[in-house]
Structure 1
Amino acid sequence: DAVALDIGGWYGPWSRRLAARCSEVVTIEPVPHLAEHLRRTLPSNARVVQGAATDRAGTARLWFPEGDRGDRGVSSLDRRDIHAHCLEVPAVTVDSLGLSGVGFVKMDVDGGERAALLGAAELLRKDRPALLIELESRLGPIAPAVDLLTGQGYAGWLLAGRRWIALDGFDLVAHQARTEHLVHRGLLRRALVPHRERYINSVLFLPDGRVPGTV
């Protein structure tokens, strides 16, 4: 019966999975044509908010690579060397949406994690949801987001192979530096030529002493 929040919906793969498991899904997507696509194609229990999740309301510049309109999934509020042009989009905070009963949050915002979390401070305090956050050191420092959540009583977990391991004590930055080349191999090559180690960029944060596999 919980509500799920998908921050950075893209084409909606997570929103569709969550809609089958939750009473309601709220998807935040800044790219206008992707948000419109989600409104047309997601199940009826999904609500789409067109905007960039950050720590303040207003407008923000969303940056894209040359020739990209957001379809590649690498747009960001933080301009990097791959970005060539930008688009003004609405900036929203999660707390401004007035959500309640949120049990799960997925976040993929390419470097804007800390700002998005600050904009959801009240929801995290009130609902204490589980969070699955994509963190990549090649896009920017990951420590600010990790430290923010640790200070709020959350602990991070990584799925390494078939078992969960604690983020505390695992050098995720060094791991990603060592395995980043796997990201550029493409899905087909990764499937045809398996590697003994995989690139880990998704971190599950659970509150209040919870561990994966428990309610």
Structure 2
Amino acid sequence: MAEPIPVDRLNEWYDELTVEIIGRVCAPDSGCLDIGAGGGEILSHMRRAAPRGRHFAVEPLPHYAEGLRRDFPGVTVWQAAAAATEGRDSFVHVVSNPGYSGLRRRPYDRADETLVEIAVDTVRLDDVVPADARVDLVKVDVEGGEVGALRGAAELLRRESPVVVFEHGGDHAMRDYGTTSDDLWALLVDDLGYTIHTLAGWLAAEPGLDRAAFAEELRTQWYFVAARGPVSARTPEE
């Protein structure tokens, strides 16, 4: 039986698995969409795996969006938050821990986080990603706003069937968005025909989780893969 990953190494482990998934999914001309791109750490791996592809990134924090445009000149960057509707909304910038920033305040690990509320544009990805764009891989890291972001991209998901790597911290992170894990399951599995896996499970070509197994995994995991079609279809040698 494999040794459990130490808690202080979990994020690093998730990143390593995500990079491996990118390598499995992407061909040199694949297209990728990074929702909540931050400083571009995952986007850089997408570009490396698919150097001839057409890539897109969504990032609401101005300094990060400016950095993405500077560092990735071939990538289309929207300085906005992905949501179910287009418009303007307040956004909680967690200055002391930017990775926790999101459209709604959520429970934080520390009580003394420094918060600044700013106004941002919101976009429906179905409205802005060109209909002729190839999208093979989507990464979602939006701190509880997964359902809104994916509802706004539902037609893209139906059309392109990309593999979706998403962070999901469970109902406590979604509470202020008015959504639950059941809503996420209903959207991805019931409406869009995806199966949900742990990152390691998808890489090992294991079957998808059922609803009860997903709920159980949420006790210890917060990154998952949603996929349609064959599991782990590409291998590193292909």
Both structures adopt the same fold (TM-score exceeding 0.5): yes
Find 2:127's aligned residue among 93, 96, 108. 96
Alpha carbon RMSD of aligned pairs, Å? 2.2
- Give runs of aligned pairs for residues 22-41 of structure 1, distance below 5 A: 22=50, 23-41=53-71
Change in CA separation of 1:201 and 1:168 when aligned onto 2, cut-off 3 Å: same
Give the gaps of 5 or more residues in structure 2: 1-28, 175-179
In 2, the alpha carbon distance for the partners of 1:205 and 1:114 equals 13
Does the CA-based 8 Å contact 1:8-1:27 persist in structure 2? yes
Does the CA-based 8 Å contact 2:30-2:135 persist in structure 1? yes
Number of equivalences? 189
- What residue is the counterpart of 1:45 in the other structure? 74
Does the CA-based 8 Å contact 1:3-1:103 persist in structure 2? yes
> Are positions 1:76 and 2:102 aligned together?
yes
- Higher helix proportion (structure 1 or 2): 2
TM-score, normalised via structure 1 length: 0.79
> Are positions 1:163 and 2:204 aligned together?
yes
- State the identity %: 31
TM-score, normalised via structure 2 length: 0.71
Please state how far the C-alpha of 1:79 moved relative to its aligned partner.
2.0
Runs of 4+ in 1 over 6 A off after TM superposition: none
- Give runs of aligned pairs for residues 192-207 of structure 1, distance below 5 A: 200-207=221-228
Deviations along 1:158-194, whole A, 9 cap, x unmatched?
Answer: 13477354222663444443x4xxxxxxxxxxxxxxx
Does the CA-based 8 Å contact 1:136-1:142 persist in structure 2? no
- Higher strand proportion (structure 1 or 2): 1
Give the gaps of 5 or more residues in structure 1: 180-199
In 2, the alpha carbon distance for the partners of 1:98 and 1:160 equals 29
- What residue is the counterpart of 2:44 in the other structure? 16
Please state how far the C-alpha of 1:214 moved relative to its aligned partner.
4.5
